[in-house]
């Protein structure tokens, strides 16, 4: 099931909301959410509900044991076992085929590549439970005592499949007690509408342009076409993933949960480091808090930790070399910026910083796109004026003219114009703030209706990050 399915929007979600809001007590509300979360998660495979329930029971038990043995060696043993089991499961399910293929290639073997079922959202909820076990061990949080609440934390459908990576410390209290007011409903519903519009009206149309050029490979795509397509692809990834995050955060808010932000207009950045402070924030903060300062590199701890973070960032995204290259590519530029220091970076003209960061980011998305290393090589060749398709390409002007309004609209939506206008109105004329809120609500409803109409005749395109 997908957030942008008409069945989800007009059947699954309304029924869930009705049953949720007629339930008188928080425990009954949680039960409704658990049932619907398991239904959502198992919509493609009935065994998925059994898997995530067993997975939750394992980590619930480990959390209790770790807490009960605090201050003893057994606690350290248990958290180590917990990390080994969680990360080991991630490696087995997600990377077994990758390891086997590389062993066959390096040592000329003929090992059979196993065909394994990959649980949806495995990378996301694995990191969620890893953070839970470590926070219990470090005494940052108390272990959950009531298994149904922990099962809800693990399986909560707004954030299970594609994030954000919600920590127990963020919503642990709201599992027990939460209230929902008018502002929660307004913020949640408008956020849901905006996320859907990002996906259906922008992302799905942008990827159609990308597919027109790259679906069959990019060996003969011209230099100008390559640059145009990779810019479009960058915006597609942003609107697809941030659209999902908006819908997840909005749904959480409707049910009374306050998830932390996952995107903060990343293309506003003036450095590569700032880009990653604004992009997929929940993943970046996870690595910063749990991996960056791992004491295994001695005197090189600062730079060794940086390498480990960006290697794992790439590896986390998928079992393919291009993701590892992509992670290390960004890590390299952050390493360079670290060496330069903030004082030197401030002296660089603002225009230069914006041009530099956008070039690095856009090329990075090209690396992200091509899992085939040969196609990745063609991509780099085409970028730097060695394309077999020449410099411009015969269809470039046609594609650009036909999609110019979509391109401009997407470009505008990359920047915080709506928050800027609302902030200015609130500051100058507070009376207009309420009116602006009403107008924005009407616009969001219109976006929802229009997106629904488009979905009737569209081909289903799952959110990109569901595969991770």
- What is the domain count for the chain? 2
The tokens for 171 are: 């919503």
Residue 434 shares a structural domain with residue 299 = yes
Active-site residue list: 317
Residue 255 shares a structural domain with residue 399 = yes
Residue 76 shares a structural domain with residue 97 = yes
pLDDT tens-digit map of 250-296: 999 999 999 999 999 999 999 999 999 999 999 999 998 988 777 66
pLDDT tens-digit map of 311-346: 999 999 988 999 999 999 999 999 999 999 888 999
What are the helix and strand counts (H, E) for the chain? 22, 0
Q: Do residues 8 and 84 lie in contact, with contact meaning Cβ atoms separated by under 8 Å?
A: no
Number of Cβ within a 10 Å radius of residue 72: 10
Residue 160 shares a structural domain with residue 307 = no
Residue 280 shares a structural domain with residue 309 = yes
> Which pTM was predicted?
0.93
Residue 172 shares a structural domain with residue 220 = no
Spell 251-290 as b/e; 16+ CB within 10 A means b.
bbbbbbbebeebbebbbebbbbbbbbebbbbbbbbbbeeb
Residue 28: per-residue pLDDT? 96
Examine the fold and report which residue of 178, 200, 231 is the final residue of a domain before the chain moves on: 178
Residue 1 included in any domain: no
Residue 297: per-residue pLDDT? 60
Residue 298: per-residue pLDDT? 62
Compute the distance between CA of residue 199 and CA of residue 241 in angstroms, rounded to an integer: 8
Examine the fold and report which residue of 152, 178, 204 is the final residue of a domain before the chain moves on: 178
Q: What is the dihedral of CA 312, 316, 318, 322, to 10 degrees?
A: -30
Residue 118: per-residue pLDDT? 79
Angle at 344 between CA 340 and CA 345, to 5 degrees: 85
Residue 161 shares a structural domain with residue 232 = no
Residue 355 shares a structural domain with residue 275 = yes
The continuous run of DSSP H or E covering 112 comes out as: none
What own/partner pairs with CB < 8 Å and gap ≥ 24 does 224-228 have?
Answer: 224/391, 224/392, 224/393, 224/396, 225/382, 225/389, 225/392, 225/393, 225/395, 225/396, 225/399, 226/379, 226/382, 226/383, 226/387, 227/362, 227/383, 228/396, 228/399, 228/400
Query: Which residues of the chain register pLDDT less than 70?
Result: 295-301, 393-395, 397, 468
Number of Cβ within a 10 Å radius of residue 67: 18
Number of Cβ within a 10 Å radius of residue 380: 14
Examine the fold and report which residue of 133, 161, 178 is the final residue of a domain before the chain moves on: 178
Residue 300: per-residue pLDDT? 67
The boundaries of the domain holding residue 333 are: 183-467
Residue 293 shares a structural domain with residue 334 = yes
Residue 310 shares a structural domain with residue 454 = yes
Q: φ and ψ at 33, to 5 degrees?
A: -65, -40
Residue 243 included in any domain: yes
Residue 167 shares a structural domain with residue 50 = yes
Compute the distance between CA of residue 339 and CA of residue 71 in angstroms, rounded to an integer: 40
Residue 404 included in any domain: yes
Give the three-state DSSP class for 291.
Answer: coil
Residue 130 shares a structural domain with residue 190 = no
């Amino acid at each position: 099931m997908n957030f942008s399915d008409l069945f989800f929007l007009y059947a699954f979600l309304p029924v869930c909301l009705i049953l949720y809001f007629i339930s008188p007590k928080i425990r009954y509300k949680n039960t409704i959410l658990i049932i619907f979360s398991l239904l959502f998660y198992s919509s493609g495979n009935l065994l998925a509900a059994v898997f995530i329930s067993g997975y939750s029971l394992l980590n619930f038990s480990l959390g209790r044991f770790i807490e009960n043995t605090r201050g003893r060696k057994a606690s350290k043993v248990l958290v180590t076992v917990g990390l080994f089991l969680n990360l080991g499961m991630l490696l087995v399910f997600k990377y077994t085929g990758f390891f086997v293929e590389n062993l066959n290639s390096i040592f000329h073997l003929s090992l059979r590549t196993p065909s394994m079922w990959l649980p949806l959202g495995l990378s996301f909820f694995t990191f969620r439970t890893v953070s839970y076990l470590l926070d219990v061990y470090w005494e940052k949080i108390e272990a959950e005592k009531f298994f149904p609440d922990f099962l809800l934390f693990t399986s909560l459908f707004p954030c299970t499949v594609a994030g954000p990576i919600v920590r127990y410390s963020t919503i642990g209290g709201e599992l027990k007690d939460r209230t929902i007011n008018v502002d929660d409903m307004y913020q949640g519903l408008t956020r849901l509408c905006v996320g859907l519009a990002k996906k259906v009206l922008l992302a799905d149309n942008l990827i159609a342009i990308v597919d027109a050029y790259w679906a069959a490979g990019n060996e003969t795509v011209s230099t100008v076409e390559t640059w145009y397509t990779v810019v479009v692809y960058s915006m597609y990834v942003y609107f697809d993933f941030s659209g999902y995050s908006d819908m997840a955060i909005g749904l959480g808010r409707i049910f009374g949960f306050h998830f932390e932000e996952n995107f903060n207009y990343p293309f506003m950045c003036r450095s590569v480091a700032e880009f990653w402070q604004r992009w997929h924030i929940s993943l970046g903060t996870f690595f910063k808090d749990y991996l960056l300062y791992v004491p295994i590199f001695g005197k090189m701890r600062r730079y060794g930790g940086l390498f480990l973070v960006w290697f794992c960032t790439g590896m986390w995204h998928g079992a393919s070399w291009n993701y590892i290259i992509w992670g290390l590519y960004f890590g390299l530029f952050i390493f360079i910026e670290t060496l330069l220091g903030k004082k030197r970076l401030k002296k660089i003209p603002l225009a230069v910083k914006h041009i530099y960061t956008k070039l690095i980011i856009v090329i990075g998305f090209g690396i992200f796109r091509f899992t085939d290393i040969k196609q990745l090589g063609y991509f780099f060749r085409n970028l730097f004026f060695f394309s077999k398709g020449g410099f411009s390409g015969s269809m470039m002007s046609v594609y650009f003219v036909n999609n110019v309004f979509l391109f401009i609209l997407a470009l505008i939506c990359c920047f915080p114009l709506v928050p800027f206008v609302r902030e200015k109105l609130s500051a100058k004329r507070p009376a207009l703030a309420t009116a602006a809120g009403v107008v924005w609500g009407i616009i969001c409803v219109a976006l929802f209706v229009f997106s629904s109409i488009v979905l009737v005749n569209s081909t289903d395109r799952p959110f990109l990050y569901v595969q991770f």
